[in-house]
A = this chain, B = another copy of it.
Amino acid sequence: MNKRIIITIAREYGSGGREVGKQLADKLKIPFYDKELITMAARESGFKTELFEKNDEQVDYSNNYLTAIGYVLGSPVAGLTDISMNDELHFIQTNVITQLAEKGSCVIVGRCADYVLRNDPDMVSVFITGNQEDKVLRIVNEYHTAALDEAEALMAKTDKRRGNYYNYYTNRDWKDAQHYDLCVNSSVLGVEKTADLIAAFIEMRNA
C-alpha cells in the first residue's frame, strides 16, 4: 500500500467484523489494531491493562455529557473536574487512535475510530453487519457459548452496549448507514470475500 489509508471498522457482535479487518490488514500489509490498542493505551497512561478491559466500550451515564464532549474534542473542558473512569479511558484511547493514524496506514476496529478520525481525508469508514442466524452461530462456535438463546442474549446486550457507547461519545446513531463510507453484510460473501470487497473499494478509491 503506497498511499496512506486509514480503515476504521465498526461491527455488529458476531458479524466477523474483527476478522474481516484482520484479513484486510494482512491483504494490504498494514498494521491492525484492536485489543493491541488497549494495551498500548494502558502502557502509555500507566493504568493497569485489566482496568481497560473491564471498562472497554462501556458508558458511565452518571457522568456529565459535556465532560465527555470535551474529551472527544481532544482536551478536557476547563472547570469540569468530575471525569469518570470511563471517560478518562475513552480520552486516552482517542489520543492513541490519533497517534496510530498519524504513524501511517492501518486498520482500526471499534472504539469510535471513524468519529475520532472523521476529519482525516485518508480515512475510510466501514460497518460490518450480518444475518441474525449467522451471527448467533458464530458466537456459539467462536466464543464457546453453550446455548443459542444465551448467544442471542449476549449478542443483543453487546450490540446495545456498543451502540450506547458510540452514541454517547459521537451523538450519532451507530447503525446509521449515512455515517459510513461502506456497510457490508458479511453473511452475503463470508469473511474472506468481504475483506476482498473492501480492498477493491479502497483500490477503486485510490485509483
Contact = CB atoms under 8 A, between A and B. Distances in A.
A129 to B, nearest CB: 5
Interface residues of A, number: 24
A175 interface: yes
Contacts of A129: 177-178
Nearest to A174: B177
A140 to B, nearest CB: 20
Instruction: State the copy count for this chain.
Output: 2
A148 interface: no
Interface in A59-113: none
Given A197-B204, A204-B193, A182 B183 contact: yes
Interface stretch (A18-26, A40-48, A150-158, A184-192): A184-192
A205 interface: yes
Contacts of A182: 182-185, 188
A12 interface: yes
A183 B181 CA distance: 8
Given A189-B204, A205-B188, A127 B196 contact: no
Interface of A: 12, 124, 127, 129, 173, 175-178, 180-185, 188-189, 193, 196-197, 200-201, 204-205
Given A129-B177, A181-B185, A189-B205, 14 more contacts: A12-B178, A129-B178, A173-B175, A175-B178, A177-B183, A180-B185, A181-B184, A181-B188, A182-B185, A182-B188, A188-B205, A193-B204, A197-B197, A197-B200
